[in-house]
Amino acid sequence: MHIGMFCDMYMPHVSGVTNHIRLYSAALQQLGHEVTVFTYGDRSEADNGCRVVRSPALPWGDTGWNFPLGLSSEATSAMSTLDVAHAHHPFASCLTPLKHCAPRGVPVVFTNHTRYDLYAETYVSWIPVRLRQGAITRYLTHLNSRVSMTICPSAELVSWLAGYGVNREKLTVFPNGIDTRPFQQPNTRRSKSDFGLSDEDFLLCYVGRVAHEKNVTLLLDAFTSAVGRNPRLSLLVVGDGPTRAESERMISERGLAGRVVFTGLMPYEDVPGVLAAADAFVSASVSEVYPLVVVEACAAGLPVIGVRSPGVGEIVSTGDSGLLTAENTESLSAAMVSLSTDARLHARLREGALDVAVAHEITASAGRLADLYARLVDSADLNSTGASR
């Protein structure tokens, strides 16, 4: 099959979605399929070995998003040869295949990677909530009525979309997969001393966007409380975002600058080596759909401490591969202290985390995705009225 992956942003911008596309594109190609990524932006950007077709666009500041300025001739030509189109953002990258591929009988798949209502609450809170929710409801319902199938990384997301009126028959649960090998055997293993920390420290690691929707303030509040009860605790924050400066200032004012290290954004290929230095992964986010970074932490053998929520809760089983808590400082702090002071608990949860990773290996997951594509293509062929594709 010739598979088109459509996205509003792509590498070198690093996010859970861009990494998802990169991983599946490579795995599908290894299975013998042809994959083309359709995106927007600077055509001179490196494309990491996969065929990427970029159309002209204007960048939206440093967000990674682009304002499309139309399609390149290369894009329209490449789209004419697709067997299936898979969109990963609900905006231009989904509307494009609906316009150019669906009329030829090519199935259009959409993966809903994000709880758009939570992001709207953070970034356009100035719009009255009824208007926000109304716009999201109308748009998602209309979009999902037009695609062949909507993939939901978690069962919770199915319920969320169905609550907006989306037809459940079009919704399919398909958990995200990862390449476990780099996390189990990183090329370069980092140590705690690389970050100015002692080898005797119990190092918690957060990897992700440093932003309000990730509940970073709660994470830092909980750590502040926990380190007061276990001075051996330290925290590594890997990533960047709009609240990084505020977070660093908060930690400095609390006298914990020596216990919390902010690395800033780093190349994705360096993350496995960083996780190798940690003892556990921690996040307070409740906005995740099915966070790859949690599966990656499990692959690195890190028990996960997190807030009990649908996204993380469908990956981590509390008491088996991590500790899930209520969304408050006291509960999250207590989990940090408990894991860092109980060696037997840590060892048991580490084994459980490795088991989680095995169930998410990318090659098997890509094979299941290819089977799903094939069924859609076969169904489209059966339903064809003879129109040329």
Q: What is the pLDDT of residues 101-149, one digit of tens each?
A: 999 999 999 999 888 887 777 667 778 888 888 888 899 999 999 999 9
pLDDT at res. 45: 53
Distance separating alpha carbons of residues 41 and 58, to the nearest angstrom:
7
Minimal CA–CA distance to 332: which of 250, 217, 218? 218
pTM over 0.85: no
> For residue 49, what pLDDT is reported?
67
Q: Three-class SS string for the chain?
A: CEEEEECCCCCCCCCHHHHHHHHHHHHHHHCCCEEEEEEECCCCCCCCCCEEEEECEEECCCCCCEEECCCCHHHHHHHCCCCEEEECCCCHHHHHHHHHCHHHCCCEEEECCCCHHHHHHHHCCCCCHHHHHHHHHHHHHHHHHHCCEEEECCHHHHHHHHHCCCCHHHEEECCCCECCHHHHCCCCCCCHHHHCCCCCCEEEEEECCCCHHHCHHHHHHHHHHHHHHCCCEEEEEEECCCCHHHHHHHHHHCCCCCCEEEEECCCHHHHHHHHCCCCEEEECCCCCCCCHHHHHHHHCCCCEEEECCHHHHCCCCECCCEEEECCCHHHHHHHHHHHHHCHHHHHHHHHHHHHHHHCCEHHHHHHHHHHHHHHHHHHHHHHCCCCCC
Q: What is the pLDDT of residue 367?
A: 96
- Residue 210 pLDDT: 95
Q: Give the Cα separation of 217 and 220 in Å (integer).
A: 5
First to last CA, the chain: 14
Distance CA 371, CA 348 (A): 35
Angstrom distance (rounded) from CA 332 to CA 270? 28
Taking CB atoms within 8 Å and a gap of at least 24, the contacts of 154-160 are 154/289, 154/290, 154/310, 154/311, 154/314, 155/310, 155/314, 156/289, 156/310, 156/311, 156/314, 157/112, 157/115, 157/289, 157/290, 157/310, 160/115
One-letter amino acid for residue 377 of the chain: V
* Phi and psi at residue 149, to the nearest 5°: -160, 145
Between CA 327 and CA 188 the distance in angstroms is 35
- The stretches in the chain having pLDDT less than 50 are 385-389
Q: What pLDDT was estimated at residue 43? A: 62
Residue found by looking up tokens 């990674």 in the block = 64
**Confidence at residue 155, expressed as pLDDT on a 0 to 100 scale:** 87
Query: What local confidence, expressed as pLDDT, does residue 385 receive?
Result: 47
